[in-house]
A and B are shown apart, each in its own frame.
Chain A
Amino acid sequence: MLTDQEIFSATRRCIDMWNTLDLDATLDTYTEDVTYCDPKTGKRIMGKANLRRYLRKFFERWDMQFVVTEEYRLEGQDGQAVLWNCEIKLREGGPSRTVRGMDICMVRGNQLSRDEAYMETSVLSELMSMKA
């Protein structure tokens, strides 16, 4: 079993990379066989190659700054729940909104093998409509 520190560090590293919008650096924080989903994926994304396709489009449009507010290890597992706030805006600029969310993350080695994010997405539509 991994230590709490190892689990939290793997997740923090992933979140830090999301904040940079560096696609390759972000993908490096996931295992090759990662399972990923958020409200916008529709269904689970399986594998890093598919995640790359999804994140490329997402990172091209959105600028995000996550701040971790709480993190809890899952008992008996190499995983955690992480609560966060995210300030999000279009990359081309304009207003931003803050979204709260929670992920369940499973860690293998120092990478995430599962990442499921839950949040409200209506702010994304709102920001898109303000652009239009």
Chain B
Amino acid sequence: MSLPTKEISRVIQERFAAYESGDHARVMDVYTDDAAYWDTKCPARMQGRAALAKYLSGFLGNFDLRYAMLEEHRLEGRDAAIVLWECAVRRRLPAGGLGTDLVMQRGMTLLEVQDGLVSRDEAYMDLASLDPLLEQAAA
């Protein structure tokens, strides 16, 4: 438990870049096999890459994400950091391309790093603002 801050930042950068790519396999590659995941839409914490893969497949398939990382703070004595971010969210259209409606999200994510991968990912945000896009995706 004493990774250089630069290494923690590298893993975090890759985590957000993977989400922006929309590439499901690339996203899964940033997590440890037993990664713990939670966001404000999850009723309970998820454990393990398989559960996470299932949960994220719909989300990544339906939405295009563009992050601006505003702040990154390492947590003292831990291989972890919090990241404050803004994200522009647009719906991916079934026929390809992106919808015109855009929702801006702000949030804070807690990330723990182990062996060059993310072992804990907890994202706190107000996903209520995404409901119109979620309804469009479900229609």
Chain A residues near B (Cβ < 8 Å): 4, 39, 72-77, 79, 81, 83, 100-102, 104, 116, 118-122, 125
Contact = CB atoms under 8 A, between A and B. Distances in A.
Contacts of A73: 75-77
A81 B90 CA distance: 29
Given A77-B73, A104-B108, A121-B128, A116 B40 contact: no
B106 to A, nearest CB: 7
Nearest to B5: A75
Given A81-B110, A118-B108, A120-B40, A74 B127 contact: no
Interface stretch (B26-34, B52-60, B78-86, B92-100): B78-86
A116 B78 contact: no
A102 B77 CA distance: 19
B126 A81 contact: no
Contacts of B110: 81, 83, 102
Interface in B37-72: 38, 40-41
A24 to B, nearest CB: 28
Contacts, number: 69
B107 interface: yes
B74 interface: yes
Interface of B: 5, 38, 40-41, 73-78, 80, 82, 84, 106-108, 110, 122, 124-128, 131
Nearest to A71: B75
Given A104-B108, A116-B84, A75 B73 contact: yes
A118 B73 contact: no
B124 A118 contact: yes
Contacts of A4: 76
A120 B41 contact: yes
10 contacts: A74-B76, A75-B73, A75-B74, A76-B76, A81-B110, A102-B122, A118-B107, A118-B108, A118-B126, A121-B128
A102 B2 CA distance: 24
A109 to B, nearest CB: 20
Contacts of A39: 106, 126, 128
